[in-house]
Amino acid sequence: MNFTQTQKYEIILKEVKEKGFEYALSNSLTLLMQAEREIHNAENEDVSNGYRLRHTYGSGNVLELRVPRTRYGGFKPMLLGILKSRE
């Protein structure tokens, strides 16, 4: 499914208005980690195995992330390391 830039913007803006910026940010970060997991799976012959909840704190806010995991447990998202170093 391909969206135009205008459609993408409208979807994101609607999500932010309805559920808040933290929700939109959490979903965006989860999608980035999912893409990273797909690369990991292809390179390491691993398979996806659900998610685990993880909370990160910053600027007085709590952000709940759904961190993808793999069957063999070797997947560690780079994004979490970046977020941890920012705290």
**3-class secondary-structure state, position 70:** strand
Q: How confident is the model at residue 86 (pLDDT cuts 50, 70, 90)?
A: low
**What CA–CA distance (Å, rounded) separates 41 from 2?**
25
In the chain, how long is the greatest CA-to-CA distance? 40
Tell me, what's the pLDDT at 80?
A: 83
Query: Closest Cα to residue 48, out of 24, 82, 72, 77?
Result: 72
Query: Closest Cα to residue 72, out of 52, 51, 53, 44?
Result: 44
pTM attached to this predicted model: 0.71
